[in-house]
Amino acid sequence: MLIIDDHPLFRQGIRWSLDDAPDMEVVGEAENGQEAIKLTERLSPDVVLVDINLPGLNGLEVARVIKRRDPRIGIIVLSVYEDDDQLFQAIKVGAAAYSSKDVNPEDLLYYIRTVATGRYLINDSVLAKPNVATRVLHQFRELAATEDEQTSVLFAPLTSREIEILDCIARGLSNKEIANELSISGQTVKNHITSILSKLQVNDRTMAVIYAIKRGWVRYGYPDQGRVHESLEG
């Protein structure tokens, strides 16, 4: 893991938080964006923790460069305070998680371990922020509108029931609400979602919806896009 922050005491605090985690290793530290980019190329860390307010290149610009050069790296963006616009921008640059810097050590360890597996915890943050969710879905609509029709996949490798469930997810329904609407059990919903993720080769519900919207398999633009629902696990 690489720590990018211009405050030495904060970097040391992160190291102390990881002292009792034998499965983690801090391979380097950087205090500015340019140094961070060079270190990332040389050390190839699995996870990068980056402060959003860096001197020179800010953390979002650093994250964008790192993800462009090595998409495999998981980025955790840290900020002094949580801000909806910062969250939205973190999503756009490909960050896997976004958190305030006063996160407790246990949660930070969870974020690092989860991001290291390739998961995107930032989707949970989106679901908890109606305004951000609306902006993200607006971006999805623009992506769908600019998709080249000739290169679009004409055949969806999903069953009709799976398409129904994806449609429900795109409308913002939780697993429980999907089960009620389709008159099936919650476990059946979870089984279908597992199948959908496997077939589309994506990590979570949000990415599955992006994939489906871009290919026209499900509708978008529902009036209740900004509703807050249960977590990704339903």
In this structure, the answer to whether residues 67 and 111 fall within a common structural domain is yes
* pLDDT in single tens digits along all 234 residues of the chain: 999 999 999 999 998 888 788 888 899 999 999 999 999 999 999 999 999 999 888 999 999 899 888 888 999 999 988 788 888 888 878 888 889 898 888 999 999 998 998 887 776 665 566 666 666 666 655 554 554 443 333 345 677 788 888 888 877 788 888 999 999 999 999 899 888 887 777 777 777 877 776 666 665 544 343 333 333 334
In this structure, the answer to whether residues 80 and 186 fall within a common structural domain is no
pTM for this predicted structure:
0.60
- Could you tell me which residues come within 8 angstroms of residue 145 by beta carbon, excluding any fewer than 6 positions away? none
In this structure, what CATH number is given to the domain that contains residue 178?
A: 3.40.50.2300
Which residues in 24-57 are b (16+ Cβ under 10 Å) and which e?
Answer: beeebbbbebebbbebbeeeebbbbbbbbebeeb
In this structure, the answer to whether residues 33 and 116 fall within a common structural domain is yes
Asked if 143 and 210 count as a contact pair (C-beta separation under 8 A), the reply is: yes
In whole angstroms, give the CA distance from residue 72 to residue 61: 17
Q: Which domain holds residue 12?
A: 2-127
